[in-house]
Amino acid sequence: MKHTNFDRYLSEQLKDPAFVRRFQWAGQAWDVALQIAALRQQAGLSQRELAKRIRTSQQQISRLESPDYEGHSLRMLRRVAQELRARVRVVIEPEEPAATHRAAESLAPYHTRKSKG
């Protein structure tokens, strides 16, 4: 497998526990955004249609589907999920001493998958 400059850069950065934490944090936001967008599209709804159904603005749906947005409320996520016939599940787990090391290892498969394309 050929490694790009980005692959090498990411491999080096994943050795830094602070970077791993930031990387995971960003990944969580991406996950939420992509899940909402995918469920909405599967339901055949536009952002405007979903917004109308849950009595909010299209801009709010757009924010929820943005990986940069961090203002999610459980109340809004539940409203969206209910309309899209889904459920919200939040898990808060204690951090383990070696969690950042294991986190870097758990990202390795993601990194490998991404670098194939």
Task: Give the closest residue to 45 by CA, choosing from 88, 89, 87, 83.
Answer: 83
More confident: 29 or 73: 73
- Domain assignment present for residue 34? The answer is yes
| CB neighbours of residue 51 within 10 Å | 20
Q: State the pTM of this model.
A: 0.61
Cα(44)–Cα(33) distance, integer angstroms: 17
Q: What integer pLDDT is reported at residue 63 of this predicted model?
A: 94
* Domain encompassing residue 23: 15-115
Cα end-to-end distance, the chain, whole Å: 11
- Domain assignment present for residue 8? The answer is no
Residue 85 belongs to domain with CATH number: 1.10.260.40
pLDDT tens-digit map of 17-34? 876 676 666 666 778 888
Q: Give the residue-averaged pLDDT of 63-73.
A: 89
Q: What percent of the chain has pLDDT over 70?
A: 68
More confident: 58 or 93: 58
Number of domains in the chain: 1
